[in-house]
């Protein structure tokens, strides 16, 4: 590999890592209920379909859905892996696997609700780094007590 | 770190990432039942032991085993992580952890079959990138309904 | 990105990857019961809180705790992911998610004990690479047969 080729590869590796970091930042924000940090994950007019037929329009709507489901829990863990990134200039696609564990409070019986699936994202390069423009969650299986994530 | 050292490290990081990407490409191919894409994962004369005493000889044989087990399912997810890569010129070893979830169709009762284990690979650098020469799957535990992956 | 900026980013990426590799080396050492390899993970005076109120003082104490819990098992798998690294000169913080599966021997009933949680680490750059100075394990949920990891 000559020096020019290596530079090209390095730029690609840096972009791919930055995109994966954005996907990971999403999980820590959700699991720490730190909703303001999602400003560094989604562009303001982002859209998302999070496991049902509803298309959420705008970052505030996405945050509302996530906080409604996760805030009542004792804890949650959105484990992601198998990241696959394709960069095309200032846009990119990213997908990864997800195992999202939801832990109920003692008052709610302390049960567990697991969602296995995949995220598929369209990403865009902004002045502040890579952000999600659209996210699709496809649920592959679930286990446990679904009532933990249904708003009362 | 001087410039030569940094270049050496960069080459290593690029190789390691390419090897991990090959291991991840395997999982998406399996879980999307896209068997042709395994041409970009294994060399044609690759061998594999996938959790039993049988050594599969040749890529076609490996594909046959995977498609026989996974095609009948509603979905599968081969979540991998903890990648460990050692590059030695144009060959390498790679190992990683695996949690493979198998989701039955509604007709099959909709159950789950989980296999936890590790992959240990011998990889080779080809003109088209890094490929698996030999793969060993060691099963560490299983849970659920094994009948989901037994050909009828 | 100009050449100087790219070099800075590359140094950061190399550091981050080395830190993640240290966290992964820990998991393979534990799951292979290869306690000597923890010399390449922790500094000698490292401290750790591994899911309870006890602060383990020194690497030997950490090794003793891990080997006491894991040696009696048939197998274990410490799957980690969602790594988040912040480097500040020669120190760094690292955190990641954990799903630790513990597999009992047939004599112990062959059951499973799962611990889900997160590691939060303070790391330090040494002449031999990045090492853990302090590790905190926060348990988020557990499932299965806890008796598998209680010394008899």
**What value does the mean pLDDT of chain A take?**
94
Average pLDDT over residues C96-117: 94
A17-73 confidence digits (pLDDT tens)? 999 999 999 999 999 999 999 999 999 999 999 989 999 999 999 999 999 999 999
Looking at beta carbons, which residues of chain A come within 8 Å of C9? 14
The rounded distance, in Å, linking the Cα atoms of B146 and B112 is 8
Average pLDDT over residues C74-84: 98
Q: Look at residue C2 and tell me whether its pLDDT is greater than 80.
A: no
Strands of B56-57's sheet, edge to edge? Answer: B56-57, B42-50, B129-144, B112-126, B91-103, B75-88
**B134 close to B42: Cβ distance less than 8 angstroms:** no
Percent share of chain A, pLDDT over 70: 96
Which chain A residue's Cα is nearest to C83?
Answer: A24
Which chain A residue's Cα is nearest to B75?
Answer: A140
B9-35 confidence digits (pLDDT tens)? 778 888 999 999 999 999 999 999 999
Mutate to test the interface with B, among C13, C14, C40 (most CBs of B within 10 A): C14
Indicate the range of A139-148, B121-130, C1-10, C40-49 predicted with least confidence. C1-10
Inter-chain CB proximity C10 and A10 less than 8 Å: yes
Q: Look at residue A152 and tell me whether its pLDDT is greater than 80.
A: no
A residues 29-88 lying closer than 8 A (beta carbon) to C: 75, 77-81
Query: Are β-strands B42-50 and C91-103 bridged in parallel, bridged antiparallel, or unpaired?
Result: unpaired
Nearest alpha-carbon partner for C15 in A84, B10, A22, A86: B10
Q: Look at residue C7 and tell me whether its pLDDT is greater than 90.
A: no
Give the ipTM of the model, two decimals please: 0.93
The rounded distance, in Å, linking the Cα atoms of C33 and C143 is 23
- The per-residue pLDDT for B39 is 97
The rounded distance, in Å, linking the Cα atoms of C15 and C67 is 29
pTM, two decimals, is 0.95
Angle between helices C59-70 and C3-31 in degrees, nearest 10 = 50
The rounded distance, in Å, linking the Cα atoms of C102 and B79 is 18
- Of B113 and A8, the structure prediction assigns the larger pLDDT to B113
Looking at beta carbons, which residues of chain A come within 8 Å of B17? 13, 16
Q: How many contacts, defined by CB atoms under 8 Å, are there between B and C?
A: 46
Determine contact: C116 vs chain A, CB below 8 A.
yes
Q: Look at residue B63 and tell me whether its pLDDT is greater than 90.
A: yes
Inter-chain CB proximity C141 and A101 less than 8 Å: yes
**What value does the mean pLDDT of chain C take?**
94
CATH 3.10.450.50, domain A3-149, yes or no: yes
Band (A137; pLDDT cuts 50, 70, 90):
very high
- The per-residue pLDDT for A36 is 97
**Residue B101, number of CB atoms within 10 A of its CB:** 25
Determine contact: B97 vs chain C, CB below 8 A.
yes
Subunits close to B (at least 3 CB pairs below 8 A): A, C
Cα dihedral sign, A126-A129-A130-A134: negative
- Of B3 and A53, the structure prediction assigns the larger pLDDT to A53
Average pLDDT over residues A92-108: 95
- The per-residue pLDDT for A3 is 65
* DSSP code, position C62: H
Determine contact: B112 vs chain A, CB below 8 A.
yes
Q: How many helices (H) and strands (E) does chain B have?
A: 2, 6
Inter-chain CB proximity A79 and C81 less than 8 Å: yes
Inter-chain CB proximity A112 and C141 less than 8 Å: yes
How close is the nearest chain C Cα to the Cα of B60, in Å? 31
Looking at beta carbons, which residues of chain B come within 8 Å of A97? 27, 77, 79
How close is the nearest chain A Cα to the Cα of B27, in Å? 8
DSSP letters, A72-124, are: TSSEEEEEEEEEEEEEETTEEEEEEEEEEEEE--TTTTS-EEEEEEEEEEEEE
For chain C, give every domain's residue range: 3-149
Subunits close to A (at least 3 CB pairs below 8 A): B, C
The rounded distance, in Å, linking the Cα atoms of C40 and C44 is 10
Determine contact: C143 vs chain A, CB below 8 A.
yes
Percent share of chain C, pLDDT over 90: 80
Nearest alpha-carbon partner for B42 in B139, B141, B119: B119
């Amino acid at each position: 590999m000559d020096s020019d080729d290596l530079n090209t590869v390095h730029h690609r590796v840096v972009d791919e890592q930055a995109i994966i970091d954005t996907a990971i930042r999403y999980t820590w924000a959700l699991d720490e209920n730190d909703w303001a940090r999602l400003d560094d994950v989604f562009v303001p007019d982002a859209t998302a379909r999070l496991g049902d037929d509803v298309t959420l329009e705008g970052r505030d709507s996405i945050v509302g859905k996530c906080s409604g489901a996760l805030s009542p829990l004792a804890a949650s863990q959105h484990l992601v892996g198998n990241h696959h990134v394709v960069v095309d200039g200032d846009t990119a696609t990213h997908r990864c696997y997800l195992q999202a564990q939801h832990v109920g409070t003692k008052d709610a019986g302390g049960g567990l609700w697991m969602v296995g699936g995949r995220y598929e994202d369209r990403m865009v390069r902004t002045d502040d780094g890579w952000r999600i423009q659209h996210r699709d969650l496809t649920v592959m299986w679930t286990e446990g007590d679904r009532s933990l994530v249904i708003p009362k």
